[in-house]
Structure 1
Amino acid sequence: MRHTSATAALLAPAVIGALGLTPAPASAASPASPTARAAWIKSCYDKKHQEYDPCGHWRLRMRDGREVTVRGAATRGVDGRGRERHGEDGTFAVSADGRVLAYERAGDHRLVVRRVTGGPVTELPRSAMPKGIGSEEMNLRLSPSGDRVLIDYLNDPGELPTKVITVATGKTMTLPAAYDVRGFSADGDEVLATRGKSDNTTALYVLRVGGGSIHRTPPAIVANALTYALAADGTTVAFVTGGTNKPRARTYDLTTGEVSASVDLPLKPDLPPELAWWSGEGRLTAVARTGQGGEAAVVRVLTVDFTAGQVTKADTYSISSKNHTFNLAGE
């Protein structure tokens, strides 16, 4: 991981200018909407171990420009034996609507969920973090409204099934490890996944949390998409393509196999969206960013209206280079 000097924190405005964007004012969102854009944790150099470590508390980059500290979240992650690891941060996720958090609790590393506004935490079942699984072997995601949690285990393929946990009840659904999980539907009632077939094609699957599934083998333009998002109807998949041209957004109907006309996104070919979710009927939120953990980053949020064929620049913000890592809402 590359870490820059303290002066790199000043790079964000320059990066915004290079993208042709205008920095968003700190008060761009209403103070009455306590929602988070992203979570990040500071990086400090450990002279004893001669490496950079996460330090301090996780912080939320709020949509009204504030920074809020999350004191109950684990700073460092653990290995499969429960021992804290240098250089590794604790697992942390923010729901797409920015209202719910999921993270490892400081002290016991139990996975918990709570509102961004505070209040009591809800403990997930202990089985959510199986014995022998460390923080870096889990990919934790929340449904858009934070009512469900998906845990994808990044160990040997086929060993541990993905788990989907309903926060209010603790009820757990498992998905075969052979599926490549892409994320929740807009209402959190389904999970979108892909799976390679023996004929070298890729099938799209919609797996219902309540049971049952549908699948279809899409054309190559869908199978090779950069990112996907499943609508609340459980059949409409938005996808983004890239390459040498501008990134484009389209939809694919799993029941009919129809691919819609494309909507061009005002982004450079080398900076396509990495993340997308449905934010309303006919509307998609797509997120692109520059920079990774340990680097100054600029995040650009677009709203795609498929009905009107229009794209709106919804938000732009920066992340300080002093971060050890950061996670965007919906990631």
Structure 2
Amino acid sequence: MKSLRRCAVLAVAAAVAAMIATPADAKTRTPSDDSVRYAWLKGCAKKDYRVPCGDWTLTMRSGKVRPLPGTAAVLPKGVSEFNVDTMLSPDGLIAVVEYFAEGGKPSSLVANLKTGKVVRLPRDQSVMSFSPDGQHLLTGRLTDDNTTEFVVFDADGQKTLSQVVPQIVSNNTPIALADDGTTIALIITGQSNKPRLHTYDLASDTVSDAVPLDIPKNEGAQTLYWGTAGAPTLWTGSGDGGTVFSVVKRTVDAGTGATRRLDSFKVRTDPWTLWLPGQ
């Protein structure tokens, strides 16, 4: 087994590559023929329990890992892989590495994988979503009044919009930011176990009516993001005992809730952990 520090670096690199659901050319932004389906880490038996072991592995069509530039690839001293999370913009050009250090406050680095530029976000901001073009980043923070504030930053780390949001927005996931930097899509399941889609305008602080989602009742929402064509893209998973065995990718009509299947595949049933695109 690799050391914690080595394992953490591998985890960051693998997770970043795994989130490139449909890699895009930097100029045309058209999907390539290659794509990562998921990243996983093997689990090995140790006495009566299982532990992570080996290297992160990518299940994809050809095989490719993008290294993070500069300090974004190095964990701060005293931070293990259990304190690190990563996120990649849908176009595969902007990566976020978020870690939790002393005091429990997140610290986030935003790295441009094309230029190598790295921007640090304020320590109280937790990263939630990218816009499809990678030009806007949605974060959230808990205020002193015990409310939740959403903040939008541009690619240079400058704040463009902020709003204290209602609980229906702050208490539900998954959530996704559109290219306009103000429209948010989110899914609510609730006790009925029937997923519904809402949109929320961050500038006007208004929530749309609920739209029932056309997905099978045995599938649960995993990740959500806005596609480049202006429609949300949803990943769902199904399985037994909380373990995802099969995954479906769909595009969603935000007005009607109708969905169209784009991809589906089965995942390994024996990993210690796995990451789907966008997670």
Residue type at the aligned position of 1:45: A
1:17-36 correspondence runs (5 A): 33-36=33-36
Shift of 1:40: 2.0
Residue type at the aligned position of 2:44: C
Give the Cα–Cα distance (whole angstroms) in 2 for the partners of residues 247 and 174 of structure 1. 35
Q: Is the 8 A contact 1:128 1:163 kept in 2?
A: no
Deviations 1:222-253 (A, max 9, x none): 12222210011111111111112311112111
Q: Look up the SS of the partner of 1:136 in the other structure.
A: helix
Q: Share of identical aligned residues, percent?
A: 29
What does residue 257 of structure 1 align with?
Answer: 205
Give the Cα–Cα distance (whole angstroms) in 1 for the partners of residues 63 and 258 of structure 2. 37
Give the Cα–Cα distance (whole angstroms) in 2 for the partners of residues 293 and 145 of structure 1. 33
Moved over 6 A (4+): none
Say whether residues 1:215 and 2:214 are aligned partners. no
Q: Is the 8 A contact 1:157 1:177 kept in 2?
A: no
Say whether residues 1:139 and 2:138 are aligned partners. no
Give the Cα–Cα distance (whole angstroms) in 2 for the partners of residues 194 and 220 of structure 1. 13
| Stretch moving more, 215-224 or 242-251 | 215-224
What does residue 278 of structure 1 align with?
Answer: 226
Shift of 1:152: 0.8
Shift of 1:51: 4.3
Say whether residues 1:173 and 2:172 are aligned partners. no
Deviations 1:114-141 (A, max 9, x none): xxxxxxxxx4436742222222221121
What does residue 4 of structure 1 align with?
Answer: none
Q: Look up the SS of the partner of 2:207 in the other structure.
A: coil
- Using structure 2 for the length normalisation, give the TM-score: 0.76
1:58-207 correspondence runs (5 A): 58-62=57-61, 101-102=65-66, 112-113=67-68, 123-125=69-71, 128-157=74-103, 161-207=107-153
Residue type at the aligned position of 2:134: G
Shift of 1:188: 1.2
**Can you give the 5+ residue segments of structure 1 that lack an aligned partner in the other structure?**
1-31, 63-67, 71-100, 103-111, 114-122
What does residue 42 of structure 2 align with?
Answer: 42
Q: Look up the SS of the partner of 2:82 in the other structure.
A: helix
Deviations 1:169-219 (A, max 9, x none): 222211122122212221111211112223332121112232233111222
Q: Is the 8 A contact 1:303 1:312 kept in 2?
A: yes
Q: Is the 8 A contact 1:299 1:316 kept in 2?
A: yes
Deviations 1:118-168 (A, max 9, x none): xxxxx4436742222222221121111111110110333465621111122
What does residue 10 of structure 1 align with?
Answer: none
Q: CA RMSD in A?
A: 3.0
What does residue 190 of structure 2 align with?
Answer: 243
Shift of 1:298: 1.8
What does residue 55 of structure 1 align with?
Answer: 54
Shift of 1:328: 0.8
Residue type at the aligned position of 1:216: Q
Give the Cα–Cα distance (whole angstroms) in 2 for the partners of residues 262 and 50 of structure 1. 43
Give the Cα–Cα distance (whole angstroms) in 1 for the partners of residues 126 and 73 of structure 2. 21
Give the Cα–Cα distance (whole angstroms) in 2 for the partners of residues 45 and 250 of structure 1. 43
Residue type at the aligned position of 2:278: G
Q: Is the 8 A contact 1:293 1:325 kept in 2?
A: no
- Counterpart of 1:228 (choices 175, 192, 196) is 175
Q: Is the 8 A contact 1:215 1:254 kept in 2?
A: yes
| Stretch moving more, 125-134 or 212-221 | 125-134
Residue type at the aligned position of 1:326: L
Residue type at the aligned position of 2:95: V
Residue type at the aligned position of 1:42: K
Aligned length: 246
Residue type at the aligned position of 1:137: N
CA gap 1:266/1:126 in 2 versus in 1, 3 angstroms: closer
CA gap 1:43/1:282 in 2 versus in 1, 3 angstroms: same
Say whether residues 1:324 and 2:272 are aligned partners. yes
Deviations 1:48-97 (A, max 9, x none): x97444236613144xxxxx566xxxxxxxxxxxxxxxxxxxxxxxxxxx
